[in-house]
Amino acid sequence: MAKCGYTVVTAGAVALGAGVAKSVLGVKGHANFGLDLKKARIGFDGVTASAVAVLVELCYCTFATNSPGTASTTLTPAQVYGRVTAAGFTAAKTWTTEPTVITVIDEILLDPNKGLLVYDFPLGDTPDSALAEGFVYRANAPAAVNLRGTFWVERA
């Protein structure tokens, strides 16, 4: 079956406040389709070698409240492969009020001193969402730091 693939990037640094969990990047499927998460990227711009690690969580989100564009900055997905068509799903960054309902599906501690995560989900192991639901990155840093992130998704 032919797929359409898209990338969503933070398109700039997202500031984390010290000790405050924040949803920093999110994607939400359309009422007629879900999303298949293919790749995940996140990196920090810290410069202090002794800084305490940042908790980064990959989360499933129903977006019962605060869908992308509500209490967040809207992002435009970019199509990277497949037949050219409108994305049909929404994306955003830097929520001021957390979306709900969030379920953590993976977590990692990353060094804020230029810490980096680049992960391509293996074929058959890609998380996928129900209709009109999706995924968010949430991060909690002990000290203020900036990050950038990317999701690669397919319409499912």
Strand ranges for 45-144 from DSSP E: 54-65, 73-75, 78-81, 90-93, 100-110, 116-120, 134-140
All structural domains of the chain with their residue ranges: 5-155
Residue 1's pLDDT band, with cuts at 50, 70 and 90, is very low
Please write the tens of the pLDDT for every residue from 52-98: 999 999 999 999 999 999 999 999 999 999 999 889 999 999 999 99
| Whole-prediction pTM | 0.94
CA distance 20 to 65: 19
Q: Does domain 5-155 have CATH number 3.10.350?
A: no
